[in-house]
Amino acid sequence: MATRTVLKYPDPRLREIAKPVEQVTDEIRALVDDMAETMYASKGCGLAAPQIGVSLRVFVVDCAGEDEPSDLRIFINPEIVESRGTQMWSEGCLSLPGVSEEIKRAERVRVRALDREGRPFELEADGLLAVAIQHELDHLNGVLMIDKLSAFKRRKMGQKLASTAGA
165 three-class SS: coil
- By beta-carbon proximity to Ni ion, the closer residue of 31 and 49 is 49
Least distance from ligand GNR to the Cβ atom of residue 136, Å: 5
Site string for ligand GNR, 11-50 (x = CB under 6 A): ---------------------------------xxxxx--
Question: Binding to Ni ion by residue 14, rule CB under 5 A?
Answer: no
Q: How far is CA 145 from CA 25, 104, 105, 139, in A?
A: 31, 10, 11, 9
Residue 136 falls in the annotated catalytic set: yes
Q: How far apart are CA 11 and CA 95, in angstroms?
A: 9
From 6, 52, 93, 131, residue interacting with Ni ion (rule: CB under 5 A): 93
The dihedral through the CA atoms of 20, 25, 30, 33 has a sign that is positive
- By beta-carbon proximity to ligand GNR, the closer residue of 28 and 94 is 94
Question: Binding to ligand GNR by residue 135, rule CB under 6 A?
Answer: yes
> Residue 158 CB: number of other CB atoms within 10 A?
12
Which secondary structure element, helix H or strand E, spans residue 36, and what is its range?
Answer: helix 26-42
Q: Which residues lie near Ni ion (CB under 5 A)?
A: 93
